[in-house]
Structure 1
Amino acid sequence: MSPPADTANPPASPHLLLRALRGAGPQGASVAQLLAQLPGVPRRTAQRWLAQCVEAGQARAIGAGRGRRYVAVRAMPPPAAVHQVRESAESSWSTDDLPSGLALSPEGREVWAYVSQPLTARAPVGYQRDWIDGYVPGRIFYLPEPVRRQLHAMGRTPDEQAPAGTYSRAVLDRLLIDLSWASSHLEGNTYSRLDTRELIRHGTAAEGKARIETQMILNHKAAIELLVDASAQPGPPFSRYLLMNLHATLAENLLPNPADEGRVRQHAVDIGQSVFRPLDAPQVLDELVDVLIAKANAIADPFEQAFFMMVHLPYLQPFADINKRTSRLAANLPLFRANLCPLTFVDVPPELYARAMLGVCEMGRVELLRDLLVWAYERSTQEYVAIRQTLAEPDPLRLAWRQLIKDTVHAVVTRPGADAVGLVKQAVAAHVPGPERAAVQALILDELRRLHEGVLARYRLRPGQWRDWIAAQGCY
């Protein structure tokens, strides 16, 4: 007579289950996959062992329901082993090079140690759909509650109760420079912050720089303006339209095939210096873009929402290129809408950001990126809270008719031979109620009188257009 299932295979034990889990690599395994390696072990017994491993910190669960997977947590190697890993890695960048004030968590150090190994020591891994399928907004959080509370305390602004997007519009001139420069720097762009300021404010390209670097900065500027405008729109923050147009704006004139701008890729891609292999089925990518947007919109907390986009958009790699840039800017949209300080990525070391993203893609681990987020956001808020405190209270009329003012100034300047006052009157009459027309018309004329090279970006104008208008228009 056969013994009961629990004792039919005496060697089976939690230790064998943990060994099987470790053998599954960074992508982990489902209960069904583990049971296939442990014949005779009942499902309930395996689930009990897994719960014990999770409680002991030997494993962690990802996802929920049928999509749940378990990943073995590697023990932190001793200092000598960490040093050995660093010496054998393809990059000499080490934790000694971390910026001041950035202390990695034990989990972040585990990710660091793994992705610092040579490519040959890291197991090839593909996209794991159950990671995003298992994410349940409001029940699963990549940012624990104490971290979210800390971020909210750091990012709070005087415009907390103002209409969505008020704060980002108030600091737009500085935001365009900081975020364009820092995000481009993470991609290897060699423009300095001063170079970036001259390009954005005056349209002056830096000498000795490649055209691709200039284009990258200008694309960032246009993409940030797109997001700031979108932040005031009602409804869910993310949409397919917004995501595709954000990518198209960042990708303009930078991709080998212009047809790839703003569309889900139709071909396979490889990630340089990584063992991660993204999906290559266009139909599945297309479907998962909608899943990503729906999950992001269902997240209530703006920081969790931002971090979700930072994690899952680059992990999915829906575009032929420029996925990380798109994710960094998209992550700012929830912060813009909540009138929180932006995340500019200023002073973030490119090597650290790259390793954090390797942890996401190769291990399905967010801890190193989370450590980086908290440090980087503190850097951003230190500057922007001080900036906002020095700004004057916005004129409510100018704020209410901001878009009309910008559009009308643009229309006037780009028609140098036309009657400026007539164009302003026509625009105001078409859009502004009678009682406010005179005041709005005066505001627009005042903007035209004060127009100079340093504010042209605000109106989507180039220096040449402004000079042509000055030459043709004269006094008005």
Structure 2
Amino acid sequence: MSTNTSASNLLLQTIQATNGLSLNQLLEQHPNISRRTAQRLISELIGSGQIVATGKARSRRYFAATKSSTVLVGFPDYIPLSSDSRDIVAYINQPLAARKPVGYQLEFLAAYQPNNSYYLPQTLRLQLHKMGRTKLHQEPAGTYSRAILNRLLIDLSWASSHLEGNTYSRLDTIELIEQGKVAQGKALLETQMILNHKTAIEMLVANSDSVGFNHYTLMNLHSALAENLLTNPADEGRIRMHAVDISQSVYRPLGAPQQIQTALDMLLTKVNQINDPFEQSFFMMVHLPYLQPFADINKRTSRLAANLPLFQANLCPLTFLDVPEQAYSCATLGVYELTRVELLRDLYLWAYERSTQEYLAIKQSLAEPDPARLVWRDLIKTTVRDIVLHPEIDSLIKISDTVANHVTAAERTNVQALIIEELRRLHEGVLARYGLRPSEFSAWKKVQQQ
């Protein structure tokens, strides 16, 4: 028996002998098992249906699975499921030995005909558009996502990381993103994961009016999410060069790099032909993880890539708030092992409705953007950043010189006033948009007060 198998059995036996335990309580009883190993083994036990989890963060508890709890493992009653979706759950909840091993099916992708085939029926697409429409839908691409960037960075970074087993709380995430404060007692990889999400989201939002679904965007998105998290750093932002196994699944992705590249080319060709942003979004949720083009971090890449069409159409984002980890895993396995999208589609609809509920108040109260601020946003941000990073220079002289060199004479007074106003309103809660750290802001502020 391997060390991991022995440790897994110890954890399972302990959980079965009690009425629910937290991770810390398990580690107290098994001090020889590291936290990271325990988290991985628990995830595998949940995936195999031997235990179930309830609660979040510090209140999360693990229980032995009963016959009744394995009927819809991972899917709480409040997520509506169709009969087709329930069939998928029932199949995935079977032991691995009862599920048929299957490889990548290129025909699944090849059979999809953009704007003729639809994973999201018309009635569902109309429903999603109604839910996600914002007051800025006619503005330039990316206007809405830029307007809500501070909130988006926190929600999407936290929720997407949580789906990977990250134990940062939402408050921990806020303090890390807004103040650079690392949560105590957390693994370094958890902190890195959150910060990587922040970088990747900022990259997409900043360039949402110009980027598209192409190799450059996809590789750089993966690179941002994968930084300092892969065993081989050379795998960041490049096609997978070796075979991979999917934990707790009988699905085996393609192994040859040339086959992966060919399928990825087809995937990108098709997604770029899709007209509806929600269909584009869901297509990426389905096919990018299914292909597994990267050595790891495929699902994270797909979740952010699925937001790009929504950013570009000025629709509410899909933040994955409160999506249960096991529900997402089960829905993804339904695609892997059955090439069926019904379960993931039901989860997508519920998740998007949940996301739009969070942003409803923002949608209703968001002021119309200042056209000049929109046109000159990059210059404004760059100037503010340069001023803060060089507290020794005279701010007014720097602003005047920058405006004179880059802005037409008719607009200089207005743009100069906008930059001055940005500096006046600068505080820790908006530093992320300028790529500034709290320490840099404090140093600049101290000089200003002298």
TM range (shorter): 0.7 to 0.9
Is the 1:341–1:381 contact (alpha carbons within 8 Å) kept by the matching residues of 2? yes
Distance 1:293 1:353, change over 3 A: same
Distance 2:47 2:145 in 1: 44
Is the 1:181–1:217 contact (alpha carbons within 8 Å) kept by the matching residues of 2? yes
Q: Confirm or deny that 1:187 pairs with 2:187.
A: no
Q: CA deviation at 1:313?
A: 0.3
Is the 1:122–1:275 contact (alpha carbons within 8 Å) kept by the matching residues of 2? yes
Instruction: Give per-residue Cα distances to partners, 1:356-393, cap 9 Å, x unaligned.
Output: 00000111011100010111111011121222212333
Distance 2:290 2:347 in 1: 17
Name the residue aligned to 1:51: none
Match of 2:190 among 180, 192, 213: 213
Match of 2:173 among 191, 196, 199: 196
Name the residue aligned to 1:263: 238
Is the 1:170–1:388 contact (alpha carbons within 8 Å) kept by the matching residues of 2? no
Question: Which amino acid is 2:396 matched to?
Answer: V
Question: Which amino acid is 1:155 matched to?
Answer: G
Give the secondary-structure state (helix, strand or coil) at the position aligned to 2:112: coil
Instruction: Give per-residue Cα distances to partners, 1:269-289, cap 9 Å, x unaligned.
Output: 111111111111111212222
How do 1:117-132 and structure 2 match up within 5 A? 117-132=94-109
Name the residue aligned to 1:301: 276
Distance 1:425 1:300 in 2: 44
Distance 1:472 1:285 in 2: 54
Name the residue aligned to 2:323: 348
Gaps of 5+ in 1: 1-85
Match of 1:148 among 99, 104, 125: 125
Q: Confirm or deny that 1:273 pairs with 2:248.
A: yes
Give the secondary-structure state (helix, strand or coil) at the position aligned to 2:189: helix
Name the residue aligned to 1:452: 427
Give the secondary-structure state (helix, strand or coil) at the position aligned to 1:231: coil
Name the residue aligned to 2:137: 160
Match of 1:283 among 231, 252, 258: 258
Instruction: Give per-residue Cα distances to partners, 1:292-337, cap 9 Å, x unaligned.
Output: 1111110001111000000000001001110000000000010111
Is the 2:47–2:326 contact (alpha carbons within 8 Å) kept by the matching residues of 1? no
Match of 2:199 among 222, 245, 258: 222
CA RMSD in angstroms, aligned pairs only: 1.8
Question: Which amino acid is 1:141 matched to?
Answer: Y
After alignment, is 411-420 or 347-356 more displaced? 411-420
Name the residue aligned to 1:423: 398
Q: Confirm or deny that 1:137 pairs with 2:126.
A: no
Distance 2:295 2:393 in 1: 44
Distance 2:356 2:290 in 1: 27
Distance 1:96 1:350, change over 3 A: closer
Is the 1:269–1:280 contact (alpha carbons within 8 Å) kept by the matching residues of 2? yes
Distance 1:273 1:87, change over 3 A: closer
Distance 1:225 1:390 in 2: 23
Name the residue aligned to 1:170: 147
Name the residue aligned to 1:388: 363
Distance 1:438 1:167 in 2: 26
After alignment, is 344-353 or 167-176 more displaced? 167-176
Name the residue aligned to 1:365: 340
Q: CA deviation at 1:426?
A: 2.8
Question: Which amino acid is 2:228 matched to?
Answer: N
Instruction: Give per-residue Cα distances to partners, 1:113-148, cap 9 Å, x unaligned.
Output: 111111111111111111111211011111111111
Distance 1:216 1:183 in 2: 10
Distance 1:270 1:178 in 2: 30
Instruction: Give per-residue Cα distances to partners, 1:78-112, cap 9 Å, x unaligned.
Output: xxxxxxxx999445354376345311101101110
Name the residue aligned to 1:334: 309
- Number of residue pairs matched? 388
Gaps of 5+ in 2: 1-45, 52-64
Q: CA deviation at 1:208?
A: 1.2
Is the 2:48–2:248 contact (alpha carbons within 8 Å) kept by the matching residues of 1? no
Q: Which has the larger radius of gyration?
A: 1
Is the 1:268–1:279 contact (alpha carbons within 8 Å) kept by the matching residues of 2? yes
Instruction: Give per-residue Cα distances to partners, 1:185-224, cap 9 Å, x unaligned.
Output: 0000001111111111111111111111111111111111
Question: Which amino acid is 2:322 matched to?
Answer: D
Q: CA deviation at 1:396?
A: 1.9
How do 1:72-87 and structure 2 match up within 5 A? none
Q: Confirm or deny that 1:109 pairs with 2:82.
A: no
% of aligned pairs identical?
A: 63
Q: TM-score, normalised by structure 1?
A: 0.78
Distance 1:426 1:290 in 2: 46
Is the 1:90–1:117 contact (alpha carbons within 8 Å) kept by the matching residues of 2? no
Is the 1:310–1:327 contact (alpha carbons within 8 Å) kept by the matching residues of 2? yes
Distance 1:298 1:290 in 2: 13
Distance 2:300 2:338 in 1: 21
Distance 1:352 1:400, change over 3 A: same
Is the 2:102–2:251 contact (alpha carbons within 8 Å) kept by the matching residues of 1? yes
Is the 2:84–2:343 contact (alpha carbons within 8 Å) kept by the matching residues of 1? yes
Question: Which amino acid is 2:319 matched to?
Answer: T
Is the 1:171–1:388 contact (alpha carbons within 8 Å) kept by the matching residues of 2? no
After alignment, is 395-404 or 312-321 more displaced? 395-404
Q: CA deviation at 1:415?
A: 2.2
Give the secondary-structure state (helix, strand or coil) at the position aligned to 1:405: helix
Q: TM-score, normalised by structure 2?
A: 0.83
Question: Which amino acid is 1:183 matched to?
Answer: S
